[in-house]
Amino acid sequence: MSSKTASTTSAKRITSRDVFYYIPNMIGYSRVLSALLSFFLMRNHPIYTTFIYGISCLLDAFDGFAARKYNQTSRFGAVLDMVTDRCTTSSLICFLAVLYPNYILIWQILVSLDLASHYMHMYASLSTGSKSHKTIGKNQNILLKLYYGDKKVLFIVCAFNEIFFVALYLSHFDFKPLVFGLTFPQILSLISFPLWFFKQFTNIIQLVAASQILSEMDAIDKNKELGL
């Protein structure tokens, strides 16, 4: 018996329970717990909130690395990662709506855009047979290929997107002015704004691209049904 056959025979059968205990998914659970803790602290403890919320965001950089290192990629892990991202960001924006109620329409639009674009993108990706929403086809928009195709770009853009929202959150609290009457959170918001804006623009492109993919699939299915 060859070594390849022997290793295949001795391999343990993977169950759904095993998938739940994959290392990257355990990291994902840690992200959820740290995010929940930051929500409890958000009203009265801005420094602790920023630190713990930041941990939840930083762990996002490690689950994908762990999945590749230990060969533990999974559909559940991909969805858990995306859903956690959307829930943490949306929850922070919801709190910004409490802090800055005069801009409620902006917060509503941002939450809706974030959820809609990523849900439709995920659905379109899975419908076309992709195992991850981060896999972009060759014919996709050049900005989407840049955003998802380069892990460094993806990490930096997502990080600055979160930094911008956190900076707006911190700006509500009392910090001493540093330069030109601006506090540290206000300076941070100005620095992070360009990449935050790029992220919102990418969300729009992603929404349009996913809509086109789904409508094209609908057209193909309908033509098959009509025998055309």
Catalytic residues: 85
CA–CA gap between residue 218 and residue 33 (Å, rounded):
39
Taking a C-beta distance cutoff of 8 angstroms, is the pair 203, 113 a contact?
yes
The neighbour count for residue 36, using CB atoms within 10 Å, is: 14
Q: What is the CA radius of gyration of the chain?
A: 21
CA–CA gap between residue 197 and residue 132 (Å, rounded):
24
Q: Is the dihedral of CA 8, 12, 15, 18 positive or negative?
A: negative
CA–CA gap between residue 174 and residue 162 (Å, rounded):
20
The neighbour count for residue 77, using CB atoms within 10 Å, is: 24
List 69's β-bridge partners, or say none: none
